Amino acid sequence: MELKKIFWKVPLFCIAAGVIAFYMEVFLMIRFVIVKLPDGTIKTDNTRELIIYGSIFIVTLIVGGMIFFRNMTRKEIFFSASIIVAIGLIMDLTQWAFNLTTGRGAVFFMYASQIFEWSSIVPQLFHRVNENLWLASVIGSLTPYLFIPFGKKEQV
Protein backbone atom coordinates (compact mmCIF):
# COMPACT_ATOMS: atom_id res chain seq x y z
CA MET A 1 0.00 0.00 0.00
CA GLU A 2 1.23 3.45 -0.84
CA LEU A 3 2.67 5.34 2.12
CA LYS A 4 0.47 8.43 1.64
CA LYS A 5 -2.70 6.30 1.74
CA ILE A 6 -1.60 4.57 4.93
CA PHE A 7 -0.98 7.81 6.79
CA TRP A 8 -4.47 9.15 6.08
CA LYS A 9 -6.21 5.93 7.08
CA VAL A 10 -6.67 6.67 10.81
CA PRO A 11 -7.66 10.35 10.36
CA LEU A 12 -10.26 9.51 7.70
CA PHE A 13 -11.63 6.67 9.82
CA CYS A 14 -11.85 8.93 12.91
CA ILE A 15 -13.62 11.67 10.96
CA ALA A 16 -16.15 9.23 9.49
CA ALA A 17 -16.62 7.48 12.84
CA GLY A 18 -17.09 10.83 14.57
CA VAL A 19 -19.82 11.98 12.21
CA ILE A 20 -21.60 8.62 12.34
CA ALA A 21 -21.27 8.51 16.14
CA PHE A 22 -22.76 12.01 16.45
CA TYR A 23 -25.94 11.04 14.61
CA MET A 24 -26.17 7.71 16.43
CA GLU A 25 -25.83 9.49 19.78
CA VAL A 26 -28.53 12.01 18.92
CA PHE A 27 -30.89 9.23 17.84
CA LEU A 28 -30.16 7.04 20.88
CA MET A 29 -30.22 9.91 23.38
CA ILE A 30 -33.66 11.03 22.22
CA ARG A 31 -34.97 7.48 22.47
CA PHE A 32 -33.35 6.24 25.69
CA VAL A 33 -31.76 9.05 27.73
CA ILE A 34 -34.48 11.68 27.94
CA VAL A 35 -36.95 10.56 30.59
CA LYS A 36 -40.32 12.12 31.35
CA LEU A 37 -41.19 11.85 35.03
CA PRO A 38 -44.79 11.31 36.26
CA ASP A 39 -45.09 14.98 37.25
CA GLY A 40 -44.29 16.02 33.66
CA THR A 41 -40.70 17.05 34.33
CA ILE A 42 -38.13 16.03 31.75
CA LYS A 43 -34.66 14.88 32.83
CA THR A 44 -31.79 12.86 31.46
CA ASP A 45 -30.60 9.51 32.72
CA ASN A 46 -26.83 9.90 33.11
CA THR A 47 -26.23 6.16 33.38
CA ARG A 48 -27.90 5.46 30.04
CA GLU A 49 -26.01 8.36 28.50
CA LEU A 50 -22.66 6.93 29.60
CA ILE A 51 -23.66 3.47 28.37
CA ILE A 52 -24.41 4.90 24.92
CA TYR A 53 -21.15 6.87 24.75
CA GLY A 54 -19.16 3.90 26.05
CA SER A 55 -20.77 1.43 23.65
CA ILE A 56 -20.06 3.65 20.66
CA PHE A 57 -16.46 4.05 21.82
CA ILE A 58 -15.88 0.31 22.26
CA VAL A 59 -17.52 -0.58 18.95
CA THR A 60 -15.49 2.07 17.12
CA LEU A 61 -12.23 0.83 18.66
CA ILE A 62 -13.00 -2.79 17.76
CA VAL A 63 -14.18 -2.02 14.21
CA GLY A 64 -11.26 0.30 13.55
CA GLY A 65 -8.63 -1.91 15.12
CA MET A 66 -9.79 -5.30 13.89
CA ILE A 67 -11.13 -4.38 10.46
CA PHE A 68 -9.63 -1.14 9.15
CA PHE A 69 -6.15 -1.17 10.69
CA ARG A 70 -5.41 -4.89 11.02
CA ASN A 71 -2.92 -4.88 8.14
CA MET A 72 -1.02 -1.85 9.40
CA THR A 73 1.98 -2.03 11.69
CA ARG A 74 1.90 -0.34 15.07
CA LYS A 75 4.40 2.22 13.79
CA GLU A 76 2.18 3.05 10.79
CA ILE A 77 -0.87 3.40 13.05
CA PHE A 78 1.11 5.67 15.39
CA PHE A 79 2.15 8.03 12.59
CA SER A 80 -1.31 7.95 11.01
CA ALA A 81 -3.04 8.58 14.34
CA SER A 82 -0.60 11.42 15.04
CA ILE A 83 -2.21 13.43 12.23
CA ILE A 84 -5.67 13.44 13.82
CA VAL A 85 -4.16 13.82 17.31
CA ALA A 86 -2.31 16.93 16.09
CA ILE A 87 -5.55 18.34 14.67
CA GLY A 88 -7.30 17.76 18.00
CA LEU A 89 -4.48 19.32 20.02
CA ILE A 90 -4.33 22.35 17.71
CA MET A 91 -8.10 22.77 18.10
CA ASP A 92 -7.82 22.51 21.90
CA LEU A 93 -4.89 24.92 22.06
CA THR A 94 -6.57 27.45 19.77
CA GLN A 95 -9.82 27.36 21.70
CA TRP A 96 -7.96 27.71 25.01
CA ALA A 97 -5.51 30.42 23.88
CA PHE A 98 -8.20 32.65 22.38
CA ASN A 99 -10.85 31.77 25.02
CA LEU A 100 -13.34 30.71 22.38
CA THR A 101 -15.91 29.26 24.76
CA THR A 102 -18.88 31.39 23.71
CA GLY A 103 -20.21 32.98 20.55
CA ARG A 104 -19.31 32.07 16.98
CA GLY A 105 -15.93 30.62 17.94
CA ALA A 106 -17.54 28.16 20.31
CA VAL A 107 -20.12 27.18 17.69
CA PHE A 108 -17.32 26.56 15.16
CA PHE A 109 -15.45 24.32 17.60
CA MET A 110 -18.66 22.55 18.55
CA TYR A 111 -19.10 21.45 14.94
CA ALA A 112 -15.40 20.83 14.34
CA SER A 113 -15.17 18.59 17.39
CA GLN A 114 -17.62 16.14 15.81
CA ILE A 115 -14.59 14.29 14.44
CA PHE A 116 -13.84 13.21 18.03
CA GLU A 117 -17.41 12.34 18.96
CA TRP A 118 -16.69 8.61 18.76
CA SER A 119 -14.33 8.95 21.73
CA SER A 120 -16.22 11.54 23.77
CA ILE A 121 -16.61 9.11 26.69
CA VAL A 122 -12.90 9.48 27.52
CA PRO A 123 -12.88 13.24 28.23
CA GLN A 124 -16.29 12.97 29.91
CA LEU A 125 -15.06 10.37 32.39
CA PHE A 126 -11.76 12.16 32.93
CA HIS A 127 -13.62 15.43 33.57
CA ARG A 128 -15.78 13.73 36.21
CA VAL A 129 -12.63 12.68 38.05
CA ASN A 130 -10.43 15.76 37.56
CA GLU A 131 -12.85 18.62 36.76
CA ASN A 132 -10.22 20.31 34.58
CA LEU A 133 -12.05 20.70 31.27
CA TRP A 134 -8.96 21.61 29.24
CA LEU A 135 -6.93 18.68 30.51
CA ALA A 136 -9.86 16.35 29.79
CA SER A 137 -10.03 17.75 26.24
CA VAL A 138 -6.32 17.15 25.66
CA ILE A 139 -6.62 13.58 26.96
CA GLY A 140 -9.62 13.09 24.64
CA SER A 141 -7.56 14.28 21.67
CA LEU A 142 -5.06 11.48 22.33
CA THR A 143 -7.62 8.67 21.99
CA PRO A 144 -6.72 7.75 18.38
CA TYR A 145 -3.50 6.31 19.82
CA LEU A 146 -5.67 3.54 21.33
CA PHE A 147 -5.68 1.92 17.89
CA ILE A 148 -1.93 1.18 18.13
CA PRO A 149 -2.23 -2.14 20.05
CA PHE A 150 -4.36 -3.51 17.20
CA GLY A 151 -1.47 -3.14 14.73
CA LYS A 152 0.97 -5.81 13.69
CA LYS A 153 4.39 -5.92 15.29
CA GLU A 154 7.24 -4.70 13.12
CA GLN A 155 8.76 -7.38 10.93
CA VAL A 156 12.51 -7.59 11.25
> Could you tell me if residue 2 is inside a domain?
no
Tell me the per-residue pLDDT of 66-79, one tens digit each, with 9 for 90 and over: 999 999 999 999 99
Nearest to 24, CA basis, from 52, 46, 63: 52
**Beta strands in the chain, from DSSP E residues, in sequence order:** 34-36, 42-44
- Is the sign of the CA dihedral 126, 131, 132, 134 positive or negative? positive
pLDDT at 1 over 60: no
Span 85-125, pLDDT tens digits: 999 999 999 999 999 889 999 999 999 999 999 999 999 99
Quote the Cα angle for 115-109-95, to 5°.
120
Q: Is 102 left (phi over 0), alpha (psi -120 to 50) or beta?
A: beta
Specify the DSSP class assigned to residue 3: H
Please give the residue range of the domain that contains residue 17: 7-150
Q: What is the percent of the chain where pLDDT is above 90?
A: 82
Note the pLDDT of residue 131: 86
Q: What is the pLDDT of residue 156?
A: 61
Spell 65-89 as b/e; 16+ CB within 10 A means b.
beebbeebbbebbbebbbbbbebbe
Q: Does residue 27 lie within any of the structural domains?
A: yes
Residue type (1 letter), 61: L
Kindly compute the dihedral angle of the four CA atoms of residues 44, 104, 8, 138, in this order, to the nearest 10 degrees. Answer: -60
Residue 155 placed within a domain: no
Q: What integer pLDDT is reported at residue 3 of this predicted model?
A: 64
Residue 25 domain-assigned?
A: yes
Q: So what's the pLDDT on residue 5?
A: 73
At residue 6 the predicted structure's pLDDT band, cuts being 50, 70 and 90, is: confident
Residue 89 included in any domain: yes
Helix (H) / strand (E) containing 137: helix 133-141
Total count of domains within the chain: 1
d(CA 125, CA 70): 28
Average model confidence (pLDDT) across the chain: 93
